[in-house]
Amino acid sequence: MAHFDTDYQRLEASYSDSPPGEENLLMHVPEGAKSQWHHIENLDLFFQRISFIPKNGFTCMLLGEIFELVQLLFVVGFTVFLANCIDYDILFANKFVNHTDSSKVTLPDAFLPVDVCSARIRHNAFMIFVLVISGVFWLHRLVKFIYNVCCYWEIRSFYINALKMTMSELPYVTWQEVQARIVEIQKEHQICIHKKELTELDIYHRILRFKNYMVAMVNKSLLPVKFRLPVLGECVFYTRGLKYNFELIFFWGPGSLFENEWSLKSEYKRGGNRHDLADRLASRILWIGIANLLLCPVILVWQILYAFFSYTEVIKREPGSLGARCWSLYGRCYLRHFNELDHELMSRLSKGYKAASKYMNCFLSPLLTVVAKNVAFFAGSLLAVLIALTIYDEDVLAVEHVLSSITLLGVCITVCRSFIPDKHMVFCPEQLLRVILAHIHYMPDHWQGNAHRYETRDQFSQLFQYKAVFILEELLSPVVTPIILIFCLRRKSLEIIDFFRNFTVEVVGVGDTCSFAQMDIRQHGHPAWMSEGKTEASIYQQAEDGKTELSLMHFAITNPQWQPPQETTHFISQLKERVHREATGLLKKKKKRPRSLIANLLAGPSTLSSVHFGRDGCLNNHTAAGIGDGASALRSLSPISSSLYLRGSLSAAHRATSHTSAVSKAMAGSGTDARTVSSGSSAWEAQLTSLVLSEYASTEMSIHALYMHELHKQQSRGELPRHTWHRQESDESSDSVPDEVRSEPNTHLRNFPRSHTFPTTVPSPSAIPTSASATSSSTLSQQGVGGFQMFFSYPVGAGVKVVRSARVPMGGWAEDTQGAPRHHEPLPEESSEDEMPPHIHKVNPGAIIRWTGCSTIPSDDQRNRLDMFRLTLSSSIS
């Protein structure tokens, strides 16, 4: 055995690294679940709950739910009590109580003793039935309540721990902020496991998955909600009950098309056995219809009781509320964009409310008015006498039925009054409809130019119905719903199956969504809505009324952070640029004019312009609108630039600054704007920013919506519309220019400080006559442009009052001037800006005149000047 002497040795050191016994083991540090918010099972529900809360706050939700429970208990209990435990004979004094001590009848006298009462209840089978049903219902609600509370609690802690928001600031946080934080959170916690990052669209898709389907189905007229009835003509019936049933059938009920909240059942995705599936759906609808029919009495009783208890008091207090209007459920569906949250929709519709009710009031029938006036007169005299007598000696009240007749007369008078139009109201529906359009963003093509017609009014009233009608429909709903389900919806089952198959796409990380909600111009664009050449959709695939395009714009504007796919980005920026360029073009021309009165006009309120620039800056923070081009041209024209260029100018300067600082800059710059400054204490600054931002977004959207409608109108007609003539005629008929002048602008400008509107409007009279004098009477173009102008003048005026101080300087005047060129853009010679000056010269007078009063003839210089002057006066006085 030789001893080998080599260099090789054992390397002792290597062993010392690991602890003895556990050689070569790596040590790991567990990450642990740092938060409980990673990988959330049901993101749909989770996001929905998150989106609920900011509006109301946690306590409100909780209280609301508790009161709902108590209310339910109360309604049932009180009804039973009224029906069984009261001796009405005593109450009506048909029977005398034999009190020994006093002759007064007290309320407790009328109550039956407990044992009699309970016996009466026990012997009444129907009452027991009602009690059992409501008991079960109540228990269900209770369980649901407890469940909800637990969920809310979870969401609350999500807000506090993950989103780092305190409960006190929650009511003032906008959804956009919450959303931005959620997107941040995803990077850290991975609440959705499919993707590293969530986009805004993903969140919207999840929250609005089913609502998008409903919107699409209403858009494609798939749901049977419009009916042609023998006497009533076309009417819409869409109630909460019906909606609930639709959702039950399609989305979550037993055997619904959806397997769970996020995926359509696979058999519905295949076209193979569509007839089988349609049959199955039809039979399911039948069964649900029958179940509705069986439950009808219960629901009916409930609806009546509920309506009685919730509305009687209101009607007694202010009977006029029945004459008030509200956006109908169908309207909300029809007007809703794809991917629009409830609160976004509601704020939009609320802004349009005033104009809408004004529009509807234009159509009060004169016959009815005369009758109402007289009825009100007679009822009023009776009432006056009764009241006078009562004041003289209150024993009059003790006379039988005096109190009730006073009440009835009061109600009668209020009802009559709602039929008597405002004395200062002027019939100019076309303008009103445009104002409405600026907020609601959708309307059928045939309304344009037909605003003064009854058909339009009737159709609009489908969207904007009387509160009374709403209540009535809700009451009728339990009876009508099963009929609609069984006879109308069932027939459509094949179409429904096809709809879900054709318009469902699976999105990674989101699940099955409605393909319309993707807002893909290529797939669902409508050639008549600016997506000419871009869309590949068949007629079946096209969304009606430009829904895809408008929704896309709306989503892009409300969610500026969102990065759409390539083509879509192209579409958006193209549109924005187009709107922008036209305005810029106009301004350049304006400057060339020999007597640059416009320049005067604009130079006047220089303080205002500074306000604007500040604001613009803060807007630019959140929009990367690629329209910096004409910014410099616009600067001098700040009042004009107001809303259209909100996001355009000063982009570079302010982009870097944070929101807060931008706002403070804006405030600093706005010497005139004392109100904002005062409210801009540090605590409010952030909120203010977001408020201002969202307001700007809504204005921008309004303008884009109007622009798109106008373009659409021209594309589809191919020539200047005739409707302006119509309007002209109808407007002529009401020769109350000053009236109009006074009433219209005033109502819109009333709500904000005079100092702001004043400087904007003052220079205008000088501007307008000149432009008018430049007019050679090429009426056709004037007409067209004029029509378009109103568009822009109005919405902004209307918007102003909403935005508090933000948009103050943009009185309608400024807008007028910029509306004009936009009109020209879509005309054939799109790029030839040289064409523009003459147009513009012609354009202005017509535009403004039409705004000031419906009836002026554009070429009539003298009158223009007069009107203008009046308008300015009136608006400055207001």
Partner 1 sequence: MNCRSEVLEVTVEARQVEEAMLALLHTILLHRSTGKFHYKKEGTYSIGTVGTQDIDCDFIDFTFVRVSSEELDRVIRKAVSEFKDALSNSGSDGMGQISLEFFQKKKSRWPFSDECIPWEVWSIKVNVVNLANEQERQICREKVGEKLGEKVINVVEVINRHEYLPKMPTQSEVDNVFDTSLKDVQPYLYKIAYQITDSLGTSVSTTMRRLIKDTLAL
Identified binder of partner 1 from the candidate list 90, 165, 170, 192, rule CB under 8 A: 192
Q: Which two tokens stand for residue 83?
A: 């029906």
Q: Does 10 sit near partner 1 (CB under 8 A)?
A: no
In this complex, which beta carbon is closest to partner 1, that of residue 144 or of residue 491? 144
821 vs 837: CA distance, rounded Å: 9
Q: Does 751 sit near partner 1 (CB under 8 A)?
A: no
184: nearest Cα among 37, 17, 335, 83: 37
Q: Which range of residues in 19-27, 464-472, 550-558, 738-746 is near partner 1 by CB under 8 A?
A: 19-27
Q: Does 26 sit near partner 1 (CB under 8 A)?
A: yes
Identified binder of partner 1 from the candidate list 36, 221, 600, 678, rule CB under 8 A: 36
In this complex, which beta carbon is closest to partner 1, that of residue 190 or of residue 878? 190
In this complex, which beta carbon is closest to partner 1, that of residue 31 or of residue 101? 31
Which amino acid, one-letter code, is at 593?
R
In this complex, which beta carbon is closest to partner 1, that of residue 253 or of residue 738? 253
**Is the distance from CB of 587 to CB of 633 less than 8 angstroms?**
yes
480 vs 466: CA distance, rounded Å: 19
Q: Does 240 sit near partner 1 (CB under 8 A)?
A: no
**Is the distance from CB of 816 to CB of 648 less than 8 angstroms?**
no
* Of residues 808-827, those binding partner 1 (CB under 8 A): none
According to DSSP, the residues that pair with 466 across neighbouring strands are: 325
In this complex, which beta carbon is closest to partner 1, that of residue 207 or of residue 688? 207
Q: Does 272 sit near partner 1 (CB under 8 A)?
A: no
CB of 190 to partner 1, least distance (A): 6
358: nearest Cα among 451, 449, 490, 442: 451
The H-or-E segment that residue 228 falls in is: strand 226-229
Q: Does 38 sit near partner 1 (CB under 8 A)?
A: yes
The alpha carbon of 849 is separated from its chain's Cα centroid by a whole number of angstroms, namely 31
In this complex, which beta carbon is closest to partner 1, that of residue 31 or of residue 400? 31
Q: Does 1 sit near partner 1 (CB under 8 A)?
A: no
CB of 506 to partner 1, least distance (A): 10
Tokens 């309604």 map to which residue?
Answer: 75
Q: Which range of residues in 28-36, 75-83, 586-594, 682-690 is near partner 1 by CB under 8 A?
A: 28-36
Q: Which range of residues in 33-41, 668-676, 698-706, 731-739 is near partner 1 by CB under 8 A?
A: 33-41
638 vs 616: CA distance, rounded Å: 10
Q: Does 40 sit near partner 1 (CB under 8 A)?
A: yes
140: nearest Cα among 82, 190, 200, 69: 69
| CA distances in angstroms from 348 to 337, 441, 585, 699, listed in the order given | 11, 9, 30, 10
The phi, psi pair for 831, rounded to 5°, reads: -90, -15
Identified binder of partner 1 from the candidate list 45, 72, 131, 304, rule CB under 8 A: 45
In this complex, which beta carbon is closest to partner 1, that of residue 109 or of residue 188? 188
Query: What own/partner pairs with CB < 8 Å and gap ≥ 24 does 593-597 have?
Result: 593/837, 593/841, 595/770, 597/763, 597/766, 597/767, 597/770, 597/771
In this complex, which beta carbon is closest to partner 1, that of residue 210 or of residue 788? 210
Q: Does 241 sit near partner 1 (CB under 8 A)?
A: no
In this complex, which beta carbon is closest to partner 1, that of residue 39 or of residue 164? 39
* Of residues 294-353, those binding partner 1 (CB under 8 A): none
Identified binder of partner 1 from the candidate list 3, 10, 28, 104, rule CB under 8 A: 28
CB of 147 to partner 1, least distance (A): 5
Site string for partner 1, 455-494 (x = CB under 8 A): ----------------------------------------
In this complex, which beta carbon is closest to partner 1, that of residue 33 or of residue 63? 33
Q: Does 193 sit near partner 1 (CB under 8 A)?
A: yes
Provide the b/e sequence for 525-543 (b: ≥16 CB within 10 Å).
Answer: bbebbbbeebbebeeebbb
Q: Which two tokens stand for residue 99?
A: 């009190």
Q: Does 390 sit near partner 1 (CB under 8 A)?
A: no
Identified binder of partner 1 from the candidate list 11, 27, 391, 539, rule CB under 8 A: 27
CB of 34 to partner 1, least distance (A): 8
Q: Does 275 sit near partner 1 (CB under 8 A)?
A: no
CB of 243 to partner 1, least distance (A): 13
Identified binder of partner 1 from the candidate list 63, 116, 139, 150, rule CB under 8 A: 150
Q: Does 260 sit near partner 1 (CB under 8 A)?
A: yes
**Is the distance from CB of 524 to CB of 535 less than 8 angstroms?**
yes
Q: Which two tokens stand for residue 417?
A: 């009054």
The phi, psi pair for 258, rounded to 5°, reads: -95, 135
Identified binder of partner 1 from the candidate list 158, 262, 503, 529, rule CB under 8 A: 262
529 vs 536: CA distance, rounded Å: 13
Provide the b/e sequence for 818-849 (b: ≥16 CB within 10 Å).
Answer: bbbbbbbbbeeeeeebeebbebbbbbbbbbbb
826: nearest Cα among 577, 578, 568: 578
Q: Does 194 sit near partner 1 (CB under 8 A)?
A: yes
How many residues comprise the chain? 878
Tokens 């690991």 map to which residue?
Answer: 18
Q: Which two tokens stand for residue 484?
A: 């609609």
660: nearest Cα among 640, 638, 684: 684
According to DSSP, the residues that pair with 228 across neighbouring strands are: 234
* Of residues 151-190, those binding partner 1 (CB under 8 A): 190
Size of the site for partner 1 (CB under 8 A): 40
Identified binder of partner 1 from the candidate list 421, 429, 482, 511, rule CB under 8 A: 511
* Of residues 48-67, those binding partner 1 (CB under 8 A): none
Q: Does 31 sit near partner 1 (CB under 8 A)?
A: yes
In this complex, which beta carbon is closest to partner 1, that of residue 146 or of residue 324? 146
* Of residues 88-147, those binding partner 1 (CB under 8 A): 140, 143-144, 146-147
- Rounded to the nearest 5 degrees, what angle is found at the Cα of 353, between the Cα atoms of 791 and 226? 95
CB of 77 to partner 1, least distance (A): 24
**Is the distance from CB of 719 to CB of 782 less than 8 angstroms?**
no
875 vs 853: CA distance, rounded Å: 13
Identified binder of partner 1 from the candidate list 39, 187, 446, 722, rule CB under 8 A: 39
CB of 28 to partner 1, least distance (A): 5
Q: Using CB under 8 A as the criterion, which residues of the chain lie in contact with partner 1 when the complex forms? A: 22, 25-34, 36, 38-43, 45, 140, 143-144, 146-147, 150, 190-194, 252-254, 260-263, 266-267, 511
